[in-house]
Amino acid sequence: MCAEDRARRHFVDLFDISSEEAHALLARAVVLKAGGHEPRRTTPLLGRSLGLVFEKPSLRTRVSFEAAFARLGGSSIFLRGKDVGIGVRESVADFARVISQYVDALAVRTFAHATIEELARHATIPIVNALSDDAHPCQAMADMMTILEIKNRLEGVRLCFVGDGNNVARSLAVASALLGVEFILACPPGYEFPKEFATRFAARFPGVPLQTTHDPKAAAEGADALYTDVWASMGQESEADHRREIFAPYQVDEDLMARARPDAVFLHCLPAHRGEEVASGVLDGPQSQVIPQAANRMYFQMALLEWLVCGSIG
């Protein structure tokens, strides 16, 4: 069972955890997937509650969090962002203090990363970033778990992300640096990582290159994994037509996959737009691991929530 006296931790950004913690969380997730979640063996979150506040639509994120907490013995309470009105109906600080009286952890899927940071400053429970415009840390760690399962290693694996330097790409770059993965972003000019992110990355990981290129074919050469995401994320709908034109040469199709290693895998955080960022032949092809990748969201989040609520990994 969980220890009652523990130092409160949050999971706002992967910059905030150590390499050792990242490795330990993945190891624990693998154990839980292998059967450590069976009710007879462990229910560390029995009697605990997880709050979920989502300002964006969700399938995988919501269900994977609710299932993860349930498998560890707890229950969940889902709140739609527009109903809660964080920062609108009441201040972020007041919401954080109040919700801390009701649940043992809070997962938030929102637009502004600053909202999650402010929640973490005022809450007395762990705050989990379930997605923000700046970062998607749970997704990136589940992706690393997927690569580890398939390749039996992370050190030295070459991961090529083709597309926008968005929240998913940023979290993947940080996860790669924590876990010894070689990461490269292939994007159109003007869609590189933001300067603020690059500066923070260089300060946190001195000596680790933040590789970026505008040539997807060169980036794919020798890759162990090719990864892409939608060209227009939620909140960017007005840019969709323009982005389709700009990103058209960056589609992950059969030709681009052929430039990677023969045993390379294809990854996508889903939902996918077939015929845009990825060809159907790749998404449905033998190298695609998008379904196991989606499943691993639940197992990584089991390990994460166990750690945050109980205060220890495993």
Was 233 annotated as part of a binding site? yes
- HSE-CB of 90 using CA atoms within 13 angstroms: 10
Was 269 annotated as part of a binding site? yes
60 is catalytic: no
- The catalytic residue among 160, 187, 269, 310 is 269
- The catalytic residue among 10, 48, 134, 139 is 139
**Residues 6 or more apart in contact with residue 229 via CB below 8 angstroms:** 161, 163, 164, 166, 168, 169, 268, 269, 277
| Cβ contact 287:241 at 8 Å | no
Q: Is the dihedral of CA 238, 241, 246, 248 positive or negative?
A: positive
- The catalytic residue among 48, 71, 170, 297 is 297
Was 167 annotated as part of a binding site? yes
Helix (H) or strand (E) holding 219: helix 216-220
**Residues 6 or more apart in contact with residue 29 via CB below 8 angstroms:** 141, 145, 296, 299, 300, 302, 303
Was 109 annotated as part of a binding site? yes
Was 297 annotated as part of a binding site? yes
136 is catalytic: yes
The torsion angles phi and psi of 162, rounded to 5 degrees, stand at: -110, 115
Was 229 annotated as part of a binding site? yes
- The catalytic residue among 28, 136, 170, 243 is 136
Extended strands (E) in the chain: 49-54, 75-80, 105-109, 127-131, 158-162, 182-186, 211-213, 225-228, 265-268
- HSE-CB of 284 using CA atoms within 13 angstroms: 6
- The catalytic residue among 60, 229, 301, 310 is 229
- The catalytic residue among 9, 28, 109, 268 is 109
- d(CA 84, CA 81) in angstroms, rounded, equals 5
Was 296 annotated as part of a binding site? no
236 is catalytic: no
269 is catalytic: yes
Was 134 annotated as part of a binding site? no
Was 139 annotated as part of a binding site? yes
Question: Among 33, 30, 65, which Cα is nearest to 49's?
Answer: 65
297 is catalytic: yes
The residues annotated as belonging to the active site are: 109, 136, 139, 229, 269, 297
Q: Which residues are annotated as a binding site for L-ornithine?
A: 167, 229, 233-234
Q: Which residues are annotated as a binding site?
A: 109, 136-139, 167, 229, 233-234, 269-270, 297
Q: Which residues are annotated as a binding site for carbamoyl phosphate?
A: 109, 136-139, 269-270, 297
